[in-house]
Amino acid sequence: MKPGSSVTVRPAKHLHGALRLPGDKSISHRYAMLAAIAEGKSRFENYSTGADCASTLACLGSLGVHWERTNNGANVIEIEGRGPALAAPTSALDCGNSGSTMRMLSGILAGQEFTSDLCGDESLSRRPMARIMKPLEQMGARITAAPEERPPLHIAGGNLRAIRYKMPVASAQVKSCLLFAGLFAKGETEVEEPLRTRDHGEVALRAFGADLKRSANSTCIVGGQRLHAIEARIPGDLSSAAFFFCAASLFPGSELVIDSLLMNPTRARLLDILIGLGVRISITQLEEQNGELVGTVRVEGAQLKSTEIAGADSAALIDEIPVLAAIAPFTEEGIRIRDAGELRVKESDRIQSIVTNLRAMGARVDEHDDGLTVPGGQKLHGAEINSAGDHRIAMAFAIAALRAEGETHIRGAEAAVISFPSFFETLESLVQR
C-alpha cells in the first residue's frame, strides 16, 4: 500500500475462522538484538513481518551484523552473532517508526566503544527519550539529543558501570534497554519498575544463556556475561490477535481460533477483560517455548457488558486500549479508561486519535488527560477515519467499522505495515457479510 492509501471497510455479520499469526513484535526485536551480540548463528522461524522489526534488522546490518532471510514464506531469519563487540556504523541508524528499536538498541550501543547516531521518522522524532538517556548517562554513556530529549540521539558508549535504577515510568522498552546495557557494565545492574511490565527482555536474556535475578518488580543482571545463539519459533503476536478477538467478540455467533499464539501472562490481560465483558474464551495446548508460554485461543462472540480499565491494567493493556476503545460504543454500558497517559506519547497521541475518530463515526465520548470514557449502547455510522500514521489506530477503527452502518474509509491504512502488513487481507478472510 502506498502512503495516503485508503481502505474501505463494510459492516459484517459474523467472524469465523482458524488462523496462525506472524511472530510477536516485542519478541522479534529482542531476539534479533540479542542474537547480534551472542556467539554463534541464531535461527528464528516466524519472525515478525512488520516494518518495525525490519528496522531493527537494518540497524543491526549497519552495525556489522550479518543476517539473512533464508525462507521468505516461513519468515525465517538467520543472524550471525558477533559476540559483544559490534562494528561502528558509517552513517546514522534509521529506526523508522520504531520506538522499540531506538530505545532498546540504545542500551546495546551505550556499551560499545564507538559513537553512533540514531534517527527516525517524523512520529518517532516526537517521542520522549529522556527515559532512557538519564539512566544510560548515569551508567557512563554520553548522549545528546534534539531539544526536549527527542531523537535524533548521538551516543558515545563504552566503559559502563552498573547502577541501581528505579524507573519512574512503567515501560518494558526502558527496562530491556537497561538490562541490555547492564550486560556491558562493570558490576550488577538492578532495574526496578513501578509496575510489572511485559517481561520478554528477561525471558529472552535467559534463553540466550544469561543469568538474571528476578523478584516481584526488579531484575538484576551482572555485566560481562556471554550470550549463546538460539533457535526458536516466535509465537504469534498477541497484540495483533487482539484486533480479531475484539472483532469476533462483537458478534454473537462468531467463533475464532488462533493457534501457536503468545500467552505470556504479562501480555494476556486482554483475555481477562474480554471474559469480564461476557465473551467465552478457552485456552488449550499451552506449552513453554524458550521460556515463553504459547497456546491456542478460541473466542466466541457475545453481547458485551461494560468495564473499567485503570491502574496496572492500563499499563498491561497499553497496546490493546485503542481497539478496546473502538468497540466500547457497542458494549451495554461502555468502557472507562484511566491512568493511560502514556497513550499520548505513542506513534500518535492515541487518546486524541481515538476520540477524534470515534466522534467522526457519531459516537459520544469524553476525553480525559489520562484516558477516555465511552458510553455504551451507541450506534455508529461509517466515516472517514484518519489513522494519524499510527498502525494501531488504523486497525482499531477497521474493527469498529464492522459494526457501523455504511462504509468506513480508513485513510493512512498503510500504517498497518508497521506491525501487521497482512492485517486487512486477514480481516477480510474472517468476515462474513
In the bound state with ligand S3P, the residue whose beta carbon lies nearer, of 31 and 184, is: 31
Q: Virtual CA dihedral for 329, 331, 337, 343, nearest 10 degrees?
A: -60
In the bound state with ligand S3P, the residue whose beta carbon lies nearer, of 399 and 404, is: 399
**C-beta separation of 240 from 22 below 8 A:** yes
**C-beta separation of 329 from 398 below 8 A:** no
The site for ligand S3P (CB under 6 A) is made up of 26, 100, 171-173, 176, 198, 318-319, 342
In the bound state with ligand S3P, the residue whose beta carbon lies nearer, of 26 and 42, is: 26
Which among 221, 177, 325, 202 has a CA at the least distance from the CA of 264? 202
Question: Strand pairing of 142-146 and 115-119?
Answer: unpaired
In the bound state with ligand S3P, the residue whose beta carbon lies nearer, of 14 and 198, is: 198
In the bound state with ligand S3P, the residue whose beta carbon lies nearer, of 201 and 295, is: 201
- What cell numbers appear for 143 in the block? 548522549
CB of 347 to ligand S3P, least distance (A): 9
Helix (H, G, I), strand (E, B) or coil at 38: coil
* Cα(407)–Cα(389) distance, integer angstroms: 21
237, 313, 319, 390: the catalytic one is 319
- What cell numbers appear for 433 in the block? 457479510
In the bound state with ligand S3P, the residue whose beta carbon lies nearer, of 42 and 240, is: 240
CB of 155 to ligand S3P, least distance (A): 19
CB of 74 to ligand S3P, least distance (A): 23
Question: Which distant-in-sequence residues (6+ apart) come within 8 Å of 12 by Cβ?
Answer: 247, 251, 402, 403, 431, 432, 433
Can you name the residues that pair with 14 across neighbouring β-strands? Answer: 432
Can you name the residues that pair with 142 across neighbouring β-strands? Answer: 156
* Cα(319)–Cα(379) distance, integer angstroms: 25
CB of 100 to ligand S3P, least distance (A): 5
In the bound state with ligand S3P, the residue whose beta carbon lies nearer, of 264 and 331, is: 264
* Cα(219)–Cα(216) distance, integer angstroms: 8
CB of 176 to ligand S3P, least distance (A): 6
The amino acid sitting at 377 is: G
In the bound state with ligand S3P, the residue whose beta carbon lies nearer, of 190 and 202, is: 202
CB of 194 to ligand S3P, least distance (A): 12
To the query of whether residue 319 is one of the catalytic residues in this protein, the response is yes
Q: Which long-range contacts (CB under 8 A, 24 or more apart) does 164-169 make?
A: 164/189, 164/190, 164/192, 165/135, 165/138, 165/189, 165/190, 165/191, 165/192, 166/192, 166/194, 167/131, 167/135, 167/191, 167/192, 167/193, 167/194, 168/131, 168/194, 169/131, 169/194, 169/342
DSSP string, 371-412: EEEE-SS---B--EEE-TT-HHHHHHHHHHHTTSBS-EEEET
* Cα(424)–Cα(433) distance, integer angstroms: 15
- Active-site residue list: 319
